[in-house]
């Protein structure tokens, strides 16, 4: 038991550094994905067939292909046909962003549609434009209802970052692999990796519940 604890303690600095990388990629990706998801989410409920088509095509293509394939395509595929040089970190952020955005589009669409249509009519009646009504009346109400879904997507994206080990991003999973490849103590290290993932995800779940109560999300 003491030997097991010593192995975990010795590997902890590397694992914590990997956990920091996991959180950094997730936060950056989710911020970008929220922006893309909001725009395409609004596109999906407009009267324009072109904009709805763009949103639908994006969601169908991204959700219809495995994330690992997307990661490999962005890191290895794109540079082979386009004159770009992506680092593993940049490719990882792009892949997680694009993948998360496809799911956030549906979250935004469902959240906006959950608001009574009379709210839009009321906003237009008092002289607001469509964009003003959406920004000042619809979205503030919809976002409160979307909070649990946002947190859930954050959790999913944290787990998804483990796939970035395939392109050499030193996130939590790859950090663990590098340790047990050197000391051959896979059980102890993978247990610690799983424990750190659990701590992050359980903390987010508790925060989500607190936020729902605080904002009185219906």
pLDDT digits (tens, 9 = 90+) for 1-46: 667 788 888 899 999 999 999 999 999 999 999 999 999 999 998 8
Q: Provide the pLDDT confidence category of residue 142 given band limits of 50, 70 and 90.
A: confident
Q: What is the dihedral of CA 22, 27, 33, 39, to 10 degrees?
A: 180
CATH architecture for segment(s) 2-215: Orthogonal Bundle (1.10)
First to last CA, the chain: 47
Instruction: Pull the structure tokens for residue 50.
Output: 């072109």
With beta carbons less than 8 A apart as the criterion, state whether 154 and 30 touch.
Answer: yes
CA dist 159 and 171 (Å) reads 11
pTM of the model: 0.89
Please write the tens of the pLDDT for every residue from 171-182: 999 999 999 998
- For CA atoms 178, 184, 185, 190, the dihedral sign is positive
Distance of alpha carbon 134 from alpha carbon 128, whole angstroms: 9
Instruction: Express each pLDDT in 178-211 by its tens digit.
Output: 999 988 889 999 999 999 999 999 998 888 888 7
Judge whether 151 and 207 are in contact, CB under 8 Å. yes
Nearest C-alpha neighbor of 55 from the set 105, 112, 99: 105
**What are 125's two structure tokens?**
């009646």
Question: Domain residues of the chain, as ranges?
Answer: 2-215
């Amino acid at each position: 038991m003491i030997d097991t604890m010593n192995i975990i303690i010795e590997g902890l600095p590397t694992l914590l550094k990997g956990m920091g990388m996991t959180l950094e990629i997730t936060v950056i990706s989710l911020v970008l994905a929220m922006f893309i998801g909001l725009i395409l989410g609004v596109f999906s409920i407009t009267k324009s067939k072109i904009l709805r088509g763009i949103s639908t095509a994006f969601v169908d293509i991204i959700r219809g292909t495995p994330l690992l394939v997307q990661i490999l395509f962005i890191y290895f595929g794109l540079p082979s046909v386009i004159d770009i040089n992506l680092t593993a970190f940049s490719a990882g952020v792009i892949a997680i962003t694009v993948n998360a955005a496809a799911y956030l589009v549906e979250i935004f669409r469902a959240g906006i549609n959950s608001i009574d249509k009379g709210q839009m009519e009321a906003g237009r009646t008092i002289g607001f434009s469509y964009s003003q009504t959406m920004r000042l009346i619809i979205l503030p109400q919809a976002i409160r209802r979307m909070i649990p879904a946002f947190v859930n997507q954050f959790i999913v994206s944290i787990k998804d970052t483990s796939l970035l080990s395939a392109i050499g991003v030193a996130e939590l999973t790859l950090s663990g692999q590098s340790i047990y490849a050197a000391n051959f103590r896979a059980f102890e290290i993978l247990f610690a990796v799983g424990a750190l993932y659990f701590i992050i995800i359980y903390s987010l779940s508790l925060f989500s519940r607190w936020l729902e109560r605080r904002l009185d999300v219906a």
